Amino acid sequence: MSYNRPPMPLPKDANPNRSTSGLFYPNEPIMPPRNEEPDSMISSLVLDTATPTIDAMNSINITNDMVQEAEYVTVNDLPINTSAPPAMFTRTGHEIPIPDGVERNGRPVATNKFYGNFLLGSQTCATWTHPYSVWISKDNAFPGFAANHVRASQRVFGDGNPAPFFFSPIGIRSFVFGANELPSFESMSLRFTDLSHMSIHVWLKKSESEHIRFPIVQGMGFITANYSNLTPRLQSAVGFRNLNSMASPRTDMQKYQVLLENDVKWTIYVKLDSKCNNFQLFIANGNTIQANQRVSSATIQVVADTVEAIDQAAGCYPVNCDVVNAVNKDKGIYRLAYKTEGYSNKGTTLLYGLRHHMVSMTIPTALTSINSELDSTVMGVMRGFITNTLEMQVQIPANVDFIPATTIPGRRVLYSHEVLEKVRDAARKEVNGDVINESNVNSMYFSGKVLAKYAWILFCCQYIVNDRGLVDILLPKLKEAFARFSQNQQQLPLRYDTTWGGVISSGTSGDDFGNSYYNDHHFHYSYHIIAAAILTKVDRDIGNGSWFTENREWVETLIRDYANPSENDPYFPMYRSFDWFTGHSWAKGLFESGDGKDEESSSEDVNSCYALKLWGMVSGNVALVNRSNVQLGILNTSLNQYFLYDDANKTEPPQFIGNKVSGILFENKIDHTTYFGNYLQYIQMIHAIPITPMSSFIRHPSYVEQEWIQKLQGIVNDVNDGWKGIMMLNLALFNPRASFEFFSSPNFSGNFLDNGQSLTWSLAYSGAFI
């Protein structure tokens, strides 16, 4: 069973209509097969993943049980490796070049980050920093750097209850930063510097001494323009109704309030150097605000609010952001530490935090909030903070490892003799499966699912039913199947891309879901990493442990590709997939997109971090374990607001949360569909696969029950392919007995299992909690 992902849709730049091209098939496609002590791993494991209620997102959740930071252990950001990728990966240049003007300093360039549109295609699609969108305007009526903020009232919803999609309009040029000396796009050149995983600097240049710099950082409160030796000009396609000079925060700064023709008020701050005398801005015409003189140096900042407290941050702006993590038992702290330039009365800048930040914010950060709220496009209302640091505390799944785990109150792992015999019976059949040939496919994704499926069967044989005979049947076959990939002998071998810096498929952009264009790497590679972690554990416990040594470099090359934690690794960008600001990963790679980056499978995002944790455990990499625990803690807060919708969700629009899942979440829209079809089981369960010990930490029992009652129980009896098995194992997250009874039924059909799901694991997981 297989499916082909259609080409990535490119939402129309100028027309904010729903982009459906490539999202639907005319007919139903074949179901996609998506999907440390030896002998004493069964333990009483009950997880408490209590998360602040969704209602708490309407206010900042200031916790009063904060531990002292001294009790936390900081997670180091040392590189996993700095050596060149193994020679088995043929070196190749990418067909998508890095555009002129990118100052990379010999370093890899991120492919899945929020600023990707600056580097791809026309370079005119928007970048979302939240709460703003910014883009390069090549329209010679409005040449320069465009900016906008969209309010919730401007969203467009599809017809239906619940609405099948919603989006914010794009291309509205509320402001376009330019200069008299840059009268057309042809009169300027583009430059991109300071590329990091949370920031990029965009330059419009007339010459080396005449330019405008825009430090673009996620969460920035001001849109900031640094002018050098130019005459500032601000334009608006919306139109300026009036411009009023206001009392300034300090003597070297001017403040203006501007009303646009759409009745939206913005505030403008101008920080001048000492050489500027009698400087002022004035309305030259309905679409242009003009400076009355050329400036040697000036900083112009705009903000989509008029709250007076913002004055205290004016003049200071972020230019970069570092991430600091620390853990303490079942708690994790992550800190977004912004580096700033300029200065303000308060000594810090203005930042806007998202909803998942606010529900887990520490007291020191919460106390810096001001009464300024701006809508984001798809992640709720944002709150303003005058600070250089956003610090959050999350619960982490410190006790979740390989063993089935649940968050169902009062349940713990306890296998009855009957359950163990059912697991053993299934394993006896499935260890004889042909993993070598089943995994011999032209897809890192589908092959990884097969390898992980058999690895979980192996785990059950060794640690749940304790049957060495079954282990001895499966282990050598699984090792042989894995060797095809670790020796790079698969149908589409991996290559090392010297252009962007990454390990990619040798297939075309249409093969393997666009792997060669950096789509979905964290999805694909996580299955291989989990299989490797289980193989390492079993081989170490019953053999000589040599398998780990022989395969470590290959596995860790995949980890470096999507989860390199260090800027000191010269071969891979930092955090290709995971976005520390939005709190989840982005799956879209080198494809220009009018609605920004996107992610379809929140559960495979979880799987990507879970894989890192398991590999960290078997490899002794404590930092990798701790970092992935923090990421999983963040995912628990972010996914349950933006992707998985409890009935009490107050983050997403009320007319949309009835869908219970996002479908595809873009930076500018949410579309309740999938890339491979519009059947309800596809849309809902792409956010459930694969069911692992980590699933219940994210997919809370109450939510899963709501989704089951409202979406799944009405269709499950009509589904007779692999999606049925996924739905029924998902049922175990709140009703394990019913799930186990389904899989243990004498009439159970193997047609209900996709090729990434085994009966052995389905019985072992559901049967653990009855």
Q: Which of 604, 652, 667, 707 is catalytic?
A: 604
CB atoms within 10 A of CB 3: 19
- What percent of the chain clears pLDDT 70, i.e. is strictly above it? 91
Per-residue confidence (pLDDT) for residue 70, from 0 to 100: 52
Tell me the CA end-to-end span of the chain in Å, nearest whole number: 32
Per-residue confidence (pLDDT) for residue 258, from 0 to 100: 99
Query: For residue 224, what are its two tokens?
Result: 């900031």
Question: DSSP assignment of 41-102, as one string?
Answer: -----B-------GGGGGS----S-PPPGGGSEEPP---S--SPPPTTSEEE--SSPPPTTB
User: Is residue 604 annotated as part of the catalytic site, yes or no?
Assistant: yes
Q: Which amino acid is at 336?
A: L
Higher pLDDT, 533 or 72: 533
Q: Which residues lie across from 136 on neighbouring strands? A: 145
Q: Which of 599, 600, 605, 754 is catalytic?
A: 600
Three-state DSSP at 384 gives: strand
The CA distance from 20 to 41, in Å, is 48
pLDDT above 90 for 363? yes
Query: For residue 361, what are its two tokens?
Result: 């914010």
The CA distance from 167 to 45, in Å, is 42
The CA distance from 28 to 30, in Å, is 7
Q: Where is 639: in which H helix or E strand? A: helix 622-642
CA-derived radius of gyration, the chain: 26
Least confident piece of the model among 3-7, 339-343, 620-624: 3-7
pLDDT, mean of residues 137-155: 98
- CA 689 from chain center: how many Å? 17
Say if CB 89 and CB 501 are below 8 A apart: no
pLDDT above 60 for 37? no
Per-residue confidence (pLDDT) for residue 274, from 0 to 100: 78
pLDDT tens digits, one per residue of 284-309: 999 999 999 999 999 999 999 999 99
Per-residue confidence (pLDDT) for residue 39, from 0 to 100: 33
pLDDT tens digits, one per residue of 522-531: 999 999 999 9
Least confident piece of the model among 268-282, 343-357, 522-536: 268-282
Of the candidates 767, 39, 106, 756, the residue with the CA atom closest to the CA atom of residue 443: 756
Reported as a pLDDT band with limits 50, 70 and 90, residue 179 is: very high
Identify the burial level of 17 via C-beta atoms within 10 angstroms of its C-beta, where 0-12 means exposed, 13-18 middle and 19 or more buried. exposed
pLDDT tens digits, one per residue of 719-768: 999 999 999 999 999 999 999 999 999 999 999 999 999 999 999 999 99
The CA distance from 650 to 491, in Å, is 47
User: Is residue 520 annotated as part of the catalytic site, yes or no?
Assistant: yes
Q: Which amino acid is at 683?
A: I
Per-residue confidence (pLDDT) for residue 275, from 0 to 100: 80
Q: Which residues lie across from 295 on neighbouring strands? A: 230
Q: Which residues lie across from 255 on neighbouring strands? A: 246, 269
The DSSP symbol for 172 reads -
Per-residue confidence (pLDDT) for residue 474, from 0 to 100: 99
Query: For residue 239, what are its two tokens?
Result: 């139109």
Identify the burial level of 140 via C-beta atoms within 10 angstroms of its C-beta, where 0-12 means exposed, 13-18 middle and 19 or more buried. exposed
Residue holding tokens 């005319």?
26
| Average pLDDT across the chain, whole number | 92
The CA distance from 618 to 614, in Å, is 6
Of the candidates 291, 323, 448, 410, the residue with the CA atom closest to the CA atom of residue 48: 410
Q: Is the peptide bond before 32 cis (omega within 30 degrees of 0)?
A: no
Per-residue confidence (pLDDT) for residue 6, from 0 to 100: 37
Contacts of 507 (CB under 8 A, 6+ apart): 442, 492, 515, 516
SS (H, E, C) 661-689: ECCEEECCEEECCCCCCCCHHHHHHCCCC
Given strand 331-342, what is the order of strands in its sheet? 73-74, 316-328, 331-342, 389-395
pLDDT tens digits, one per residue of 460-519: 999 999 999 999 999 999 999 999 999 999 999 999 999 999 999 999 999 999 999 999
The CA distance from 362 to 425, in Å, is 50
Say if CB 201 and CB 214 are below 8 A apart: yes
Of the candidates 585, 581, 577, 584, the residue with the CA atom closest to the CA atom of residue 561: 577
Contacts of 748 (CB under 8 A, 6+ apart): 742, 759
Reported as a pLDDT band with limits 50, 70 and 90, residue 362 is: very high
Say if CB 339 and CB 318 are below 8 A apart: yes
Per-residue confidence (pLDDT) for residue 71, from 0 to 100: 82
CA distances from 715 to 271, 474, 491, 724, 733 (A): 61, 36, 37, 9, 18
User: Which residue ranges form the domains of the chain, and what is each CATH number?
Assistant: 101-312 (2.70.98.30), 417-767 (1.50.10)
Reported as a pLDDT band with limits 50, 70 and 90, residue 54 is: very low
The CA distance from 770 to 759, in Å, is 17
Q: Tell me which range, 46-60, 273-287, 441-455, is most confidently predicted by mean pLDDT.
A: 441-455
pLDDT above 60 for 708? yes
H runs (alpha helix) in 416-503: 417-430, 435-438, 444-459, 468-486
Of the candidates 137, 117, 138, 113, the residue with the CA atom closest to the CA atom of residue 126: 117
pLDDT above 90 for 51? no
Per-residue confidence (pLDDT) for residue 276, from 0 to 100: 82
The CA distance from 607 to 531, in Å, is 12
pLDDT above 70 for 29? no
Query: For residue 135, what are its two tokens?
Result: 């883009």
Per-residue confidence (pLDDT) for residue 128, from 0 to 100: 99
Say if CB 253 and CB 269 are below 8 A apart: yes
Per-residue confidence (pLDDT) for residue 27, from 0 to 100: 31
CA distances from 226 to 210, 285, 490 (A): 11, 24, 51
pLDDT above 70 for 419? yes
Query: For residue 436, what are its two tokens?
Result: 């070598």
Q: Which residues lie across from 332 on neighbouring strands? A: 327, 394
pLDDT above 50 for 193? yes
Q: Which amino acid is at 349?
A: T
Of the candidates 76, 210, 214, the residue with the CA atom closest to the CA atom of residue 136: 214
The CA distance from 581 to 218, in Å, is 7
